[in-house]
Structure 1
Amino acid sequence: MKSRSTPEKRKTPLYAQVAEKIKQEIKRRKLKRHDPVPSEGDWAALYSVSRMTAKLALDILAKEGWVYRLARRGTFAAAGCETDETGEIGETGEADERTPVPAAAIPPIRAKKRIAMVFPNMDDYTAKILEAAQKEARRSDCQVLICISSDREDESACLQELYADGVDGIILYPRGRTRCSEKVLELNLQNYPLVIIDRIFREVQIDCVYHDHYKGTYELTDYLIRRGHARIGYLSAPFDGVTSREDRYKGYSRAMLDRGLTIDSSNMLLDCSEAYMSNLRAVNDQLETFLRNNPALTAVVCMDDYLATSCLYTALRMNKSVPEELSIAGFLDIQLSSLLPVPLTTVRQTTEQLGQAAVQLLLKRLKKSREGAITIKVNTSIVERDSVRTIR
């Protein structure tokens, strides 16, 4: 008859064994209170166990007061390690583990800079910015956190949470914002490292990286003129203080004047309702009226690809062929642009340069740069597709 094993004879759980090894290593290295302790991944690799086993081991030490853990910051030595006497690793019922682990075997702890990126949503455009920013951050050994804010209040909450959590700096993309939030003003007054991307706020001097909307639209309009177009219209939603919309309109106007062409207000629609965003394929009543009243136009420049898409479908539903009767050009180069019935000629905003420049500027601020507010303009490029024809 087999005898039942007593608790004293039961094998010590692996995570408890690892906890004891970590405890002895902390004592051997004479870590003081608040000194960083290797992560669970480091211990797992050192002792050839799973990360979960290492996590459970650190949880035991945290309960015993040997270490304390901070979310997204790491594990640190606590008061317990200073008062306990140094001893050797005891037997665990397995192979003898009395040989101390060489200090060089444990990876050195380096406190990584943590930067956060706050976006209003995640789409193809913002995803590309994030990808470029992460690559640049990795090259500088920084960790990137992501926060999605649905509106201004949520944006302020995100900023406050990141600031309270000790994040070293923030990159904010306030798409569609006409004014910066009070939280942005507050952080800026505190000289907290904060970089705005793709937007300029007139009411505050703050670091920003944005595309050169003026130059991009100037070059696009000039491109249409060189293709033989002289009667070129302009379509935009209300400016409402959005500097990118204002800059694009100014770029169009300046190109027309520089080429000696007349700017006719009847050839422009600057208050197009953004209701078209709910159904880009539907006929846009405002655009239909505008096109019917301006049959002499051979081309239109649109403030962005969404409005250009609405214009394209409206023209096609009116049996107005594109580009034979009307050339259409946009701005952004969203993924949809190349998939339309007539692929769209547009201005591409280089997301890679935008993400890289934003991270580089933020890292400059983290090094305590004392320069005044810095504005970095990123160049754009024209993407030629089928929606523009040459008039000979």
Structure 2
Amino acid sequence: MDEAKTGRGSASDTLYNKVRNEILKIIIERQIGSNELLPSEGEIAELCNVSKMTSKLALNSLAEEHIIYRIPRRGSFLADVDLNKIRSMVDSNSTSNYSAVKSNYLALVIPKMDSYCGNIVRVILTAAEAYNYHVVVKYSDGISETEEQILSEISKVPEIMGVILFPGDNNTCGIELLSYKVHNYPIVIVDRVYKEVEFDSICHDNYQGAKDAVSYLIRKGHSKIGFISKSISNVTSREERYQGYMAAMMEGNKRIRLESVQTNDNMVLVSELKEYLINNDSLTAVFCSDDYIAVYLYYAAGELGKSVPGDLSIMGFTDNEILNFIPLKMTTVKQPVEELGTQAVEVLMDKIADSSRPPRTIRIKTDIIERDSVKEIKITQ
């Protein structure tokens, strides 16, 4: 057999495989779909700085593997092949625009680097390392447009085999996520569940955690319990906490006062929280959908001369490190990140191994952390 054709045992082996590899990368980078036209032999030769013969041999090889098919005088077309298979075929050690990237890479997209996200990153890095994967971390700043751009860029890097996404506050499925779904790209959503499109999702059980928290307040003798959150619109984690609050109050036969339930983005302003407390002076406890609000409410109460927990009991959610910066130890709902991060990596590994697996939603149990911000009220007969 002609050595130049097989490429074995000669310098042409490196050149031939480089061109073959570049064609695979072009398919991914340009997101070429099934039965769509590939660049011509001449275009590939020019892009890779090789002869037309070399580009032709590389295309013929991919045709023999049924990755592409060739029609005389019309060109080469992508066969009906899953793009994940093409990604797995890419030789990341070959010379290319991504030569600095090693094989076995995942991408992790997070909205910010606070203590909660930082702990998730730490766990995911450790869990991925156990599978011999490196992790590229990207920050969206919680901005939907930035998140979309990052996802678009990631999908065009062949060496990245899958994505773990912690979305920002906007819980609407964007165009790039829909593209991931259509192309069956391995992705796992962390701490969110999309209603309109089903993805693999790992999240804490926000509903049960909130319900347990409010039930805990009721057991402590509280009946006039308020609820404060940033906007719950299109953010399933907050919506589920609101639903958990409502369920616990109804099961406990407690009256829900509409003025005591506030869900808008201004509820992180001390001035707004002071007004809330003034308008709800009869409340003995407030359940906050996150620890930041709980901290701001603590200071708002102090400015009004209310002591915590003497005059008002406050309970948060997440067990964020921000609680370390106030004088009072705050009772809260802890969201364990070890299981969250580990499960996210395990589910992504399953998806990479078999992209046809049906999506799963895994909910992780939360825990109540009892501290000093909740007072027990003795119920008089």
Normalised by the length of structure 2, the TM-score is 0.72
- Which one of 118, 130, 133 corresponds to residue 139 of structure 1? 130
The alpha-carbon deviation at position 180 of structure 1 amounts to 2.0
- 2-structure distance, mates of 1:174, 1:271: 19
What are the residue-to-residue correspondences of 1:102-141 with 2, within 5 Å?
Answer: 112-141=103-132
SS at match of 2:319: coil
Q: Deviations over 1:335-392 (max 9, x none)?
A: 0113312221111111111111111111000111523221111111111221111112
Change (3 A) 1:191 1:297: same
Q: Deviations over 1:193-231 (max 9, x none)?
A: 011111122121111111111011011111111112111
Residue 309, structure 1, aligned to residue 301, structure 2: no
Change (3 A) 1:390 1:336: same
Residue 162, structure 1, aligned to residue 154, structure 2: yes
The alpha-carbon deviation at position 28 of structure 1 amounts to 9.7
1:327 alignment counterpart: 313
- Which one of 141, 144, 147 corresponds to residue 152 of structure 1? 144
SS at match of 2:362: strand
- 2-structure distance, mates of 1:389, 1:31: 78
1:254 alignment counterpart: 247
Unpaired runs of 5+ in structure 2?
Answer: 1-7, 19-92
Q: Deviations over 1:183-202 (max 9, x none)?
A: 11111111000111111221
The alpha-carbon deviation at position 286 of structure 1 amounts to 2.4
The letter of the residue matching 2:273 is: L
- Which one of 178, 189, 195 corresponds to residue 185 of structure 1? 178
Change (3 A) 1:380 1:214: same
SS at match of 1:347: strand
The alpha-carbon deviation at position 74 of structure 1 amounts to 6.3
Check conservation: 2:144, 2:168, Cα contact below 8 A.
no
SS at match of 1:168: strand
The letter of the residue matching 1:307 is: I
The alpha-carbon deviation at position 243 of structure 1 amounts to 1.0
SS at match of 1:144: strand
Normalised by the length of structure 1, the TM-score is 0.70
1:348 alignment counterpart: 334
- 2-structure distance, mates of 1:376, 1:324: 39
Check conservation: 2:268, 2:292, Cα contact below 8 A.
no
SS at match of 1:360: helix
The letter of the residue matching 2:117 is: T
The letter of the residue matching 1:364 is: D
The alpha-carbon deviation at position 70 of structure 1 amounts to 3.9
The letter of the residue matching 1:238 is: S
1:103 alignment counterpart: none
2:196 alignment counterpart: 203
The letter of the residue matching 2:235 is: V
Unpaired runs of 5+ in structure 1?
Answer: 1-26, 37-66, 76-110, 277-283
- 1-structure distance, mates of 2:188, 2:264: 30
Change (3 A) 1:314 1:366: same
Residue 232, structure 1, aligned to residue 225, structure 2: yes
- 1-structure distance, mates of 2:184, 2:207: 29
The letter of the residue matching 2:313 is: S
Change (3 A) 1:322 1:309: same
SS at match of 1:161: helix
Q: Deviations over 1:319-347 (max 9, x none)?
A: 00100010000111110113312221111
Q: Deviations over 1:297-330 (max 9, x none)?
A: 1100011111111111000010001000100001
Check conservation: 1:272, 1:286, Cα contact below 8 A.
no
Change (3 A) 1:293 1:275: closer
- Which one of 220, 244, 264 corresponds to residue 257 of structure 2? 264
The alpha-carbon deviation at position 137 of structure 1 amounts to 0.8
Change (3 A) 1:238 1:68: closer
The letter of the residue matching 2:218 is: I
The letter of the residue matching 1:363 is: M
Check conservation: 2:185, 2:355, Cα contact below 8 A.
no
Q: Deviations over 1:246-291 (max 9, x none)?
A: 1001101111111222222232223351552xxxxxxx23222221
- 1-structure distance, mates of 2:17, 2:319: 50
- 1-structure distance, mates of 2:144, 2:242: 26
- 2-structure distance, mates of 1:153, 1:257: 39
Check conservation: 2:268, 2:293, Cα contact below 8 A.
no
- Which one of 338, 342, 347 corresponds to residue 361 of structure 1? 347
The alpha-carbon deviation at position 29 of structure 1 amounts to 11
What are the residue-to-residue correspondences of 1:79-98 with 2, within 5 Å?
Answer: none
Check conservation: 2:225, 2:286, Cα contact below 8 A.
yes
- 1-structure distance, mates of 2:356, 2:119: 30
Q: How many residues align?
A: 294
Residue 387, structure 1, aligned to residue 373, structure 2: yes
Q: Deviations over 1:114-155 (max 9, x none)?
A: 111011221211111011111111111111111122322222
Q: Deviations over 1:152-174 (max 9, x none)?
A: 22222211222211110011111
SS at match of 1:195: strand
Q: Highest CA radius of gyration, 1 or 2?
A: 1
Check conservation: 2:198, 2:359, Cα contact below 8 A.
yes
RMSD over aligned Cα atoms? 2.4
The letter of the residue matching 1:194 is: I
Change (3 A) 1:152 1:268: closer
- 2-structure distance, mates of 1:260, 1:268: 17
SS at match of 2:95: strand
The letter of the residue matching 1:303 is: S
2:80 alignment counterpart: none
- 1-structure distance, mates of 2:325, 2:268: 22
